[in-house]
Structure 1
Amino acid sequence: MVPQRKLLKVFKKTTYLTTFLLLCIAWSRLRLFFLNVKSQPNAVEYNGGLIDDIKLMKCYRWYKNCETLYAQSAVHDNSFVLWNRVSKNMTDSSLYAIESNWLYETFFYVHLFNTNANKEDEKQPLADIAVSRDPSLVPLTVLQEVMPSLRSSDSMMGNKRLYYQKTSWWYRFWNNPLPTKMNLMNKWKHNNDILWSKIQHDSCLITNIQLYLGSNFVESRPFWKEIIHELHNEDGNSIPISITRKVECGFDANHTFPKNTINNKDLLQLKQKSDLKILQLSDIHIKGNEENSAILGEFQSRIFISRIIDIERPDLVVITGDILDGNKSVDYQTCILNVVQPIIRAQIPFVISFGAKDFSKYATQQEITDFVNQIPYCLNKNSDSNGHLTIPYNFSTIPNDSKDDYSNLITQNDLAIFIFNSKTSKRQFFKDYISLYKSPPKLALAFQYLPIPTYRLSGVFPIIGQYNERNLLPEGFDNDDNLINYMHEMNIKALSCGFDHSNDCCLQSIHDIWLCYSGATGLTAPHSIFMPPSVRLFKVDNIDKSITSWKRNYNKIDEVYDYQYIYNQPKQKHTPSN
């Protein structure tokens, strides 16, 4: 009996000691668990700024939120720091999770660089990042910098013993996402799984990271570079994710943020020439999903736009609505960038008049507007509070100094290009123009998404092109019957719109104002089988004092058709002198 009691006491002591040791070992995990379970009132996702680390982290279903998570700052470090999830501005976060199951979702998280930290701190802002599709492979970008002699894709097949440092059984057991502290020539560090980061004492640093869903994504924005194209979720059935990063140069030793190198005011002035050419695109209807027909059609639409730009070399591009396809579009950011990619590549200013389908079930209208406003070469950021925009143009009086406010140097613009928001009234907009410039422009062109009621003419009227649709105008838009009279007072010679996919005509209304359509530009937009995707162009010639218009379509892209005069200034008659 006595030996059994002794054994029981020994067993109890051993059990207590083992339990105590396990609790001590697991204490950091428990602390981390409670930190992430409780609410974080100031949870903010990453939307730009200097970072000193990036990694994949699991957000468990019982966490209060996934926007920010606490995690250890380094291996064997018991301190916890806050990490911010790379923002996507979509209400359904599972769409951009790298891994998703009933227990957790995995996202990209970054640690913000503290500019007020001690300069001797080992934490330095990242200069670059790389992503591998396979944890057992080293990204080609890394190998090409570390081993310049390697140039082929086969170089990704590196020796794991050379590039990876083993972690303890404890970290492997917990599937710990902490970095392995492995460096390659003091430049590249293997963070965890598929992520690598570069720390380099340089003036060029990462200032933003963004994710884009869907196929056909192409990065063309200045300072941006795609670091991996169409990374698939582990199940292989999800929408692929493309990852891009922005690197800006000019940082000083204190990591002071550089000034923006793109001057929006310069873009508003356009190029000083004796003529001005405008390309109108409309109704592209990009979905960005994984349907084979959509992928092919959207790729062909982008190639079509790119070919037109290469042939015509316009000075300005106007998109009159329906870039998106409403609820059928997945990632509105990918869809918009896919359309404007050829425009950005050619460094051409552009403006968008939003259409009825330019909305997303995963984002608010304000989020879409904010995203468009920050795209390079986009002029929408200069619109007024109602979404209307004026682009003044003067063939000989454009100041060269971007610091000058040229609106105060002239009393009458040679030309004004008006881009309207179809949903709001234009009356106050015209009054504000007269208040600023004192008089209407000599000539003007206007663009918007929706036709005005005057487009629905009856009887006999001049028309050039096809007029196959007379759809009912949607509710919630500005359908002012007097707009045609206001346009006449502002010397607007033509209004061109979208909306009706199978119309590409110009028809002449009262006051000799031409009401035009561009026709649908997108190959995935529904339209008549007899109406190939098309674009419309306008040219204002200061020498001839004329405005002309013509079209090109997808089937005969090298041919111009329906060439017409929108306006031709009457020749002055010279009376013979006695």
Structure 2
Amino acid sequence: MADNKTKTSVFDFFLLSVSLVGLCFAPVPASAQGRKLSFGLNGQFKILQVADMHYANGKSTWCSDVSLIQYWFSCSDLNTIAFMSRVIAAEKPDLIVFTGDNIFGSDVKDAVKSMDAAFAPAIASKIPWVAVLGNHDQESTLSRQELMIYIVMLPNTLSQVNPPEAFHIDGFGNYNLEIHGVAESSLQEKSLLNLYFLDSGDHSSVPSIKGYDWIKTSQQLWYNQTSKRLQREYNEEPNPQQGTAPGLAYFHIPLPEFKNFDTKNATTGVRQEATGSATKNSGFFTTLVARGDVKSVFVGHDHINDFCGELKGVNLCYGGGIGYHAYGKAGWERRARVVVADLNKNGTGSWGDVKSIRTWKRLDDEHLSVIDAQVLWTNSPSRSSVSRL
């Protein structure tokens, strides 16, 4: 394996090449070319959300907001890695999604080295994974564009810098993934579940608007066009389906609409801090409602909120913080969110379209406890409901 100095030199040369040709996106990495995600033979597709690792420099980076016992036992970034590895082994997801603040840029000495370590459990698992950026990732030695360019070169990732068809789109890390029907089934060439990943930015660049950034008009236009294309393909021959395949959206900074919920009126989970959304409402929630395909939005950013609440048919869900260097709450375990889509069985006994979407959370305790099992959406007129696994 090349040493870090050699790796950085190669990376610098790659960045120079990209800038010379004026690209704002990078090609899909070789490891992802031709790779198609599909529902398993059990009719399920499982996603693990990893929110707010805030990884810095490994063993030398101390934990924040933990019990005295944890602190005495030399709690560090390595605890984050150990928890993530345990969850991956227990859940065996089909896809791992990192929803930003993957590294804590202001404390990072070498962004490349920190990202390598932060994503190492996902890479080692050989499970496909993707990432978007938060508001802290770029605070070290690499810009947001440079971070995404590096991420797409890592093993087993399906991340993209930006969609090839969108030349004028804000941010870096806007792309979608299609989850096809079970192999050898009549729907194996159909996308039955659509995943949207967006760059929610870091801080406002508009002098008159303070606070966090937001999802811009160009990104909403790309989502709208992509959703319409996927709907057309869903309804095309052979084996046309009716309506629209359900979708899920992943990004870092919560929408202002998350403010509608507290611990009492959320479906599951708790609110323990204010929603750190942009002060400007860019209307993305309205765009999602108008299209109707996205059933749930998953974000990070506010580490000690982990609720889901439903508004106008869209579930707004926090991942809950996983990182030990990130701020947290002593006695409130770090956690990760799992989402599972289940398929219907048709009259012939083969797998059909999506029947339901469920979620739960895993805690970093002795038993990797499962909490807050919930049905987010069902392919029926009934509404979301809390249920046991």
> Which TM-score applies when normalising by structure 1?
0.49
**Alpha-carbon distance in 1 for matches of 2:374, 2:266:** 12
How far residue 569 of structure 1 moved from its aligned partner, in angstroms, is 2.5
Secondary structure at the residue paired with 2:106?
Answer: helix
Letter in 1 for 2:6: V
Secondary structure at the residue paired with 1:376?
Answer: coil
**Alpha-carbon distance in 2 for matches of 1:523, 1:447:** 22
**Alpha-carbon distance in 2 for matches of 1:346, 1:325:** 23
How far residue 272 of structure 1 moved from its aligned partner, in angstroms, is 4.3
Letter in 2 for 1:264: A
Question: Are residue 456 (structure 1) and residue 272 (structure 2) matched?
Answer: no
Letter in 2 for 1:467: R
2:109 paired residue number: 330
Q: How does 1:83-98 map to 2 (within 5 A)?
A: 86=6, 88=8
**Alpha-carbon distance in 1 for matches of 2:260, 2:33:** 40
1:151 paired residue number: none
Query: Retained in 1: the 8 A contact 2:258–2:275?
Result: no
- In structure 2, list runs of 5 or more residues that go unmatched: 11-27, 64-73, 202-214, 233-242, 346-354, 383-389
Query: Retained in 1: the 8 A contact 2:231–2:244?
Result: no
Per-residue Cα deviation, 1:362-397 (whole angstroms, up to 9, x for no partner): 233332221111001111237425432111112247
Query: Retained in 1: the 8 A contact 2:53–2:324?
Result: yes
Per-residue Cα deviation, 1:209-251 (whole angstroms, up to 9, x for no partner): xxxxxxxxxxxxxxxxxxxxxxxxxxxxxxxxxxxxxxxxxxx
**Aligned pairs, number:** 312
Pick closer, same or farther for the CA change 1:456–1:89 going to 2, 3 Å. Answer: farther
1:554 paired residue number: 364
Question: Are residue 422 (structure 1) and residue 200 (structure 2) matched?
Answer: yes
Overall identity of the aligned pairs, in %: 21
How far residue 268 of structure 1 moved from its aligned partner, in angstroms, is 4.1
Q: Which has the higher contact order (CA 8 A, sep 6+)?
A: 2
Question: Are residue 499 (structure 1) and residue 301 (structure 2) matched?
Answer: yes
- In structure 1, list runs of 5 or more residues that go unmatched: 1-47, 49-53, 55-84, 91-259, 401-405, 573-578
**Alpha-carbon distance in 2 for matches of 1:484, 1:469:** 24
1:348 pairs, out of 127, 139, 143, with 127
Question: Are residue 531 (structure 1) and residue 362 (structure 2) matched?
Answer: no
1:389 paired residue number: 175
Pick closer, same or farther for the CA change 1:517–1:458 going to 2, 3 Å. Answer: closer
Query: Retained in 2: the 8 A contact 1:267–1:349?
Result: no
2:377 paired residue number: 567
Pick closer, same or farther for the CA change 1:547–1:432 going to 2, 3 Å. Answer: same
1:509 pairs, out of 311, 315, 323, with 311
**Alpha-carbon distance in 2 for matches of 1:374, 1:398:** 31
Q: How does 1:467-482 map to 2 (within 5 A)?
A: 467-474=271-278, 479-482=281-284
**Alpha-carbon distance in 2 for matches of 1:261, 1:454:** 35
How far residue 430 of structure 1 moved from its aligned partner, in angstroms, is 2.4
How far residue 464 of structure 1 moved from its aligned partner, in angstroms, is 0.6
Per-residue Cα deviation, 1:253-309 (whole angstroms, up to 9, x for no partner): xxxxxxx99541343435644110000001111111673636842111111111101
Per-residue Cα deviation, 1:74-103 (whole angstroms, up to 9, x for no partner): xxxxxxxxxxx735269xxxxxxxxxxxxx
Q: Which of the two has higher C-alpha Rg?
A: 1
How far residue 550 of structure 1 moved from its aligned partner, in angstroms, is 0.3
Question: Are residue 264 (structure 1) and residue 32 (structure 2) matched?
Answer: yes
How far residue 490 of structure 1 moved from its aligned partner, in angstroms, is 3.7
Q: How does 1:21-32 map to 2 (within 5 A)?
A: none
Pick closer, same or farther for the CA change 1:514–1:530 going to 2, 3 Å. Answer: farther
1:540 paired residue number: 341
Query: Retained in 1: the 8 A contact 2:103–2:118?
Result: no
Query: Retained in 1: the 8 A contact 2:38–2:183?
Result: no
Secondary structure at the residue paired with 2:336?
Answer: strand
1:280 pairs, out of 38, 42, 49, with 49
Secondary structure at the residue paired with 2:47?
Answer: strand
> Which TM-score applies when normalising by structure 2?
0.71
**Alpha-carbon distance in 2 for matches of 1:289, 1:442:** 41
Pick closer, same or farther for the CA change 1:271–1:334 going to 2, 3 Å. Answer: farther
Letter in 1 for 2:132: S
Q: How does 1:235-314 map to 2 (within 5 A)?
A: 263-270=31-38, 272-273=40-41, 274-288=43-57, 291=60, 293=62, 296-314=75-93
Letter in 2 for 1:389: Y
